[in-house]
Each structure stands twice: as C-alpha cells, then as structure tokens.
Chain A
Amino acid sequence: MTKKIVRCAVPVLVLLFLYVPILMLAFYSFTDATQIGSFRLFTLKNYETLFTTEELRNMIIGTVLLALGAALIATILGTLGAIGSFYSKKRITAAMDTVNQIPVINADVVTGFSLCVLLVVVFGIAKDTYIPLVLGHVTLCAPFVYLSVIPKLKQMDSSLYEAALDLGATPSKALFKVVIPQILSGMIAGFSLAVTLSLDDYFIATYTKPATFDTISTYVVNATKGSQTQIKTALWALSTLIFLLVIVIVLVMNISSRRSVKKEEERA
C-alpha cells in the first residue's frame, strides 16, 4: 500500500515543482499584482501592455524572425552537409562528425564568446549588421539538423538514388525527387529543434547581437534586473501565452502522431 502511495506521490510532487511557479505566474498575470502573493482585482492590463508597447512587440517579432531565419539556413546547410558527409570517404565523414560535435558539446558561453572575438574583434564585422547574430545562431542550430538527418540517410536504401540516375534523372532531380522525400522527417525534426534552440538561446545572442536589438531571453534577463514593474508584469502575460502555445503545439503533435500510427496500423 505504502509502495503504491510513493509511486504516485513522487511524480506528482515533481510535477508540482515544475508547474506551480508557471501556473502561479499565469494566475497573477490576470491581476493587478506587482508581486506574487497579493492582488486587489482581476484585470487584463498586463496583456494590453504586452500588445501595445512597441518595444515589447518588436522584441517578440524579432526573436521569432531570427529563430525562423536561422533555422531555415541551418536546415539547408546541415542537410546538405549530412548528405555530402554521408557519401564521402570514411575519413572525411569522421572528420565532419567530430567537428559537428564541437558546438553540441561546447558551452554556449564559449561558443558565443569565441564567435564574438573572431567576427567582431578579428574580422571587424559590426554587430549592427546582424551578421554575427545570424551566423551565431546558425552555428548553434546546424549541427543538430545534421545529427537528425544522418540517421534518416542510414535508413534509406542508397541504391534508390543510383536507380534514379540510371533511369535518366539528373543528380539535382534525383536529389529532390528521391533523397529529400526520404529524409524529410529528419529535416523537419531538425528544423523544429533549431527553432526551439534559437528561441531559448541567451549566451550567443548576448555576445553577438546589436545593442539596439533584444531577443526574449536577453530582454527578460535585463528586465528582471530593472525596476519597471509595468514591463515586469507584462512579461508574466508573455510567459502565460507561451505556456498556452506550447500546450496547443504538444496536443496537436500528439493527435497527429496518433493518427499516423493508426493509419499505418490500418495499412498493415
């Protein structure tokens, strides 16, 4: 009996630890409280501030555009890199795999700082051009795209590509009509991973971004140090909206993956 209680209590307690702070913040985001614990009335003021303050709106749009742009470049680069590496000589494949692993294992602080020294100090590229920031985020994301595409290439029947060439397809046609469809799921997984990595990044952005630009992470970190309570509580609203968005995405992914499993079962 006690065993059963422990088996239930432990996961529930950990879930509480993970979710109570987020849910508390969500609750108080609908009030006029300036700190958690006390409020006088319910209001949507925080959400109004979030959507009408230009600074906040620019920061959110900028973060999303950066994530999508960097993820797109990373997906193209990483996928091509994976295909090239997979069909190269063993030594080249091993070298690519090793170097690809460096940004994955390395601390983001070190990646960000070293990129800043190379691009800004040595090459003299101004941060205001956004080039260091975009390159930094592509460096952060592309290795993960590479890692998610390689397994798909391993699963693929490599004679398919040769067959397409023998049947008269040009290499680019064979690439787009034969190879890409086979590895598409890996590319999509890599792309979504790249988006989440870019959205969550703080260190690379802080070392490479223009002074006038902020991502959600750098903005929130600075805001928590400041004393502007209006902005601070508007960020509670942002946290709540992102939380809801994540729930919706997870639900949609779950339902769609269940559907595809069902379809495959029906086929079999």
Chain B
Amino acid sequence: MRFSRKTLGIPYGVFLLLFVVAPLLVLFYYAFTNGQGQFTLENLTGFFTDPNTLGTLAYSFAVALATTLLCLLIAYPVAYILSTSKLKSKSVIIMIFVMPMWINFSLRITALKEILTMIEGNLAFYPFLNSVLGMTYDFLPFMILPIYNTIVKLDGSLNEAARDLGANERGAFLRVTLPLSMPGIISGVSMVFLPAMTNYVVLDMLYNSTYIMGSLIGSYFNAYNWHGGSMIALVLLGIICVFTLLTDGKEDENARTGGALL
C-alpha cells in the first residue's frame, strides 16, 4: 500500500472536526435560537438577568477560589519540602501523594463523606465548608504534582548564590525560589480552579450541588431544555477561554503534561 505519512492524520482530523468542533458549533446554534429555530437573544439576556443563575455563578466562583487557595496553601509546602529534601527515594514519596488520583473519584468522595458525616453529624450544617473540603480532597494531587515538578528541576546553585550575595534564608526563598516556581503554581491553579468551578458531582454527593455552574447545565439537561443548557455551556466555555488566555504561556508545560502522564 502506498501512502504518505501526512495522510495518516486524516482520520483523526475528521474525528476532531466531527466530535470536537461540530459540537461547539451546535452549542452556538442552540444558544442563540429558540424552540422554533428562530434567532433569539432571549437565552443570553435570560442568563444575565436571572438572579438565580447569577447567584450560582458567584457561588461557584467563590467555591473554586476557596478550593484553589486551600489547595495551594497545602500543596506548596508539601511540594517544597519534598523537592528540597535530601531523601533518595523522592520519586517514590511523590508517587504516594499522587496515588489517590487513580482510585475512582466517586469512591474517594464516598469515603470522605462517611468521615465528614461521622464528624459533623449532618452534612447540611456546613455546606460551603464541605464543598471546599470535598473539592480539595479530590484535586489536591493535581496541585502538588506540577509544583513539585517545577521546584525539583530548579538549579539549587541559584539559591546558594543568593545566600552568598547576602540574602537571608527567607529573602532567598521569596526572591529566588518562589518566583521561579510560579510556572508550576500557575499550572496547578489552572488544573484545580476550572474543574472546581464546574465539577458539580463532588458536591452532589455531599448534598450541596445546586449552586455550582455545572449543575445548571445538568438541570437544563434533565428538563430537555437544550437551548438554555447550551447558553450556560457557552458561558462556561467563555470563562474557560478567558482563564486559558490569561495563563497561556506562563505555565510550565512539562510539569503539566508530566502530571497528566504520571
């Protein structure tokens, strides 16, 4: 059989057009039409005038922000301590931190739910706290791994040079190590923030999903309202685009794919 290597890409190219590009186009079409197929801005104005949807947007933003900050607060010290430790088996230890990632999330959240129920008695008492704890429990490895991968590759002599030039330990950390680990932090933030804003099922399992952006799509899906659902999906897509453009180029690409591959 004669073929050039380029032609091998055609099936995947067609696949991407059909199942990645086309669904997004359909989303646009449905978001700006009504049940009769006529063009309308009703879905758009409906979204931005409904206090319910706006409240949901604000709440899920708050949950995502709190989750990201908590993850960062826990993950950075861990990643820093592990990557700068003199232990030989660092890669094994980091493996232990990421291993929970491979256990099905629904089973892990079940475990967390049982523990929280035991401690709090009733999960309805602290809905926001439980949301943030659940998300943090689910996404923490995604924050630890990229930061660890970035710091472990840093040239240690830079830190030593800063010390030799008169910086104290704190100064050397704040002005050398921390800025150099920013790409890892940004990778981690983008791997935690967006899922935390949309992953309503974690909260669904912890009794509190009504106020997360993703769950809005779910409610329109259950009501067979494809037009309204498409508009919510489009708004989410817009947020994702803005976020991606903001972080574009500032990430540590290797840390991120390394995280995906592990």
A contact set with B: CB distance below 8 Å? 7, 10-11, 14-15, 17-22, 24-25, 28, 35-37, 77-78, 80-85, 87-88, 92, 96, 99-100, 102-103, 105-111, 113-118, 121-122, 135, 138-139, 142, 144, 146-148, 151, 161, 170-172, 175, 189, 193, 196, 199-200, 202-203, 206-207, 216-217, 220-221, 224-225, 235-236, 238-239, 242-243, 246-247, 249-250, 254
Contacts and interface: CB of A to CB of B under 8 A. Distances in A.
9 contacts: A35-B114, A37-B118, A77-B11, A81-B8, A82-B12, A85-B13, A111-B23, A148-B261, A220-B104
Nearest to A161: B5
Interface string B209-243: 00000100110010000100110010011001000
Given A15-B97, A171-B2, A196-B102, A106 B9 contact: no
Contact of A117 (B16, B30, B105, B111): B30
Contacts of A92: 6, 9
A246 B99 CA distance: 7
B27 interface: yes
Contacts of A142: 12, 15
From B5, B17, B21, B108, residue with most partner A Cβ within 10 Å: B5
B117 interface: yes
Contacts of B13: 81, 84-85, 96
B104 A216 contact: yes
B77 interface: yes
B233 A109 contact: yes
A109 B96 contact: no
Contacts of A109: 198-200, 214, 217-218, 233, 236
B194 interface: yes
A115 B114 contact: no
A113 B233 contact: yes
7 closest A-B pairs (Cβ-Cβ)?
A: A84-B9, A81-B12, A114-B23, A21-B111, A220-B106, A239-B107, A107-B198
Contacts of A25: 110-111, 114
Contacts of A225: 204-205
Given A10-B78, A24-B111, A84 B8 contact: yes
Contacts of B24: 102, 114
B10 interface: yes
Contact of A81 (B4, B11, B97): B11
Contacts of B95: 250, 254
Interface of B: 1-13, 15-17, 19-24, 26-27, 30, 74, 77-78, 81-82, 85, 92-93, 95-97, 99-100, 102-108, 110-115, 117-118, 137, 140-141, 194-195, 197-201, 204-205, 214, 217-218, 221, 226, 229-230, 233, 236-237, 240, 244, 257, 260-261
A180 B140 CA distance: 36
Contacts of A239: 103-104, 107-108, 110-111
